[in-house]
Amino acid sequence: MVAYVNGNGVRPGYVIKHNDKLYRVMTSEHRSPGKGRAFCQVKLRNLLDGLQTEVKFRADEQVERCALEQINMEYLYKDSAGHCFMNCETYEQIFIDEQLLKDSIKFLLPNTKVQIEFYEERPLGVSLPEAIELEVTDTDPPFKGATASGSGKPATLETGLVVTVPNFIEIGEKVKVSTTSGDYLERVKK
């Protein structure tokens, strides 16, 4: 079933089809110029290549709103076919290309639970948990008397992600990292 919204009904977060491409609406701003008709200025991000564009929709224009299916999946492993994910309910496995995952790869460890968005049975993207725990594999030794209020030091985590951590963090410790900002949140208590 195809759903349509009028041009001034487009909201951030919607997924729409425009010029036969799928876009996520990032921002929408209603404008009423002194002369002419009102319109909605929208910033869109292409769901396949990530490129952004801006479009104006007239208030009376019909815009196709797409419904994405979100499926809970578990990341299993990476091999030559791509990154393997398993549906948590049906145990069906799919492979997703690294290009589609983009920056999400830096947070993926085997057994990580994620949500994958599908449109017409084609995966479009991965929604990660808010934070993830990763082990520190390389960093400078801690300073004597180091506190959490220092400027920090770079640390390489088990997925290859580099974050700034407090000076007291050591190799082998687990840290919690935000998947939205990529910042260190806290040390994981043993």
Q: Which helix (H) or strand (E) holds 148?
A: none
Helix boundaries (H) for the chain: 98-101
Tell me: do 10 and 58 sit in the same domain. Answer: yes
Percentage with pLDDT > 70 across the chain:
95
Tell me: do 52 and 84 sit in the same domain. Answer: no
**What is the pLDDT at residue 34?**
82
Give the Å distances, CA to CA, from 183 to 123, 124, 142. Answer: 27, 25, 19
**What is the pLDDT at residue 2?**
72
Share the mean pLDDT of the chain: 89
Q: CB–CB of 146/168 below 8 Å? A: yes
Provide the token pair at 68.
């994405």
**What is the pLDDT at residue 18?**
92
Tell me: do 109 and 75 sit in the same domain. Answer: yes
Give per-residue pLDDT as tens, 44-53: 988 877 789 9
Tell me: do 183 and 162 sit in the same domain. Answer: yes
Pick from 73, 14, 71, 6: which is nearest to 44 by CA? Answer: 14
| Residue that finishes a domain, picked among 50, 65, 80 | 65
Give dist(CA 98, CA 104) in Å, integer: 9
Give per-residue pLDDT as tens, 173-188: 999 999 988 999 999 9
Q: How many CA atoms lie within 13 A of 15 on its CB side?
A: 16
Domain span at residue 117 reads 69-127
List the CATH number of the domain containing 33: 2.30.30.30
Pairwise pLDDT comparison (14 vs 50), residue with the higher score: 14
DSSP string, 89-127: TT--EEEE-HHHHGGGGGG--TT-EEEEEEETTEEEEEE
Provide the token pair at 43.
């910033």
Pairwise pLDDT comparison (55 vs 36), residue with the higher score: 55
| Residue that finishes a domain, picked among 65, 80, 97 | 65
Give per-residue pLDDT as tens, 110-157: 999 999 989 888 898 888 999 999 999 999 988 766 555 667 899 999
| Residue that finishes a domain, picked among 41, 65, 89 | 65
Number of domains in the chain: 3
Q: CB–CB of 70/117 below 8 Å? A: yes
